[in-house]
Amino acid sequence: MIAEVNWENLEAAKAHPDFAGQGWLTFYLMGQPENHRSSWPDFRELGAANLRGEEGGFVYAKFPVALNKNDIGAILERVLQLYSQAELDCSIVDIDASPDVERSKFFTLWTAS
């Protein structure tokens, strides 16, 4: 996953006034409701927001990050490990300006092939 990240979009986020050096990595996660719920304690330790919607099979979990490759890479690796352990799938990872799902500016960093 890390090798496939569109780092140019990180640069676009850094240049956008809505970000101010910080952002939220949003993972589009799919799986069984019980699998989503099993991941939440570990996700919460990473500061995750928006852990809801699991009954429909989809959760758009958001994790706070600094807008730099090291911080984003570390969160990507850790969340990848956690969602794999929980038997969840991920289709997209965005960098969002805020945890607000409906009004946040975002750039896509990764899309599943």
**Residue 113 pLDDT greater than 90, yes or no:** no
pTM of this prediction? Answer: 0.94
Cα within 13 Å of Cα(33), Cβ side: 5
Per-residue confidence band for 102, with pLDDT thresholds at 50, 70 and 90: confident
**The tokens of 73 are what?**
């890479």
Q: Which residues contact 46 (CB under 8 A, 6 or more apart)?
A: 63, 75, 78, 79
> pLDDT, tens digit, for every residue of 29-53?
999 999 999 999 999 999 999 999 8
Q: Which residues contact 21 (CB under 8 A, 6 or more apart)?
A: 14, 66, 67
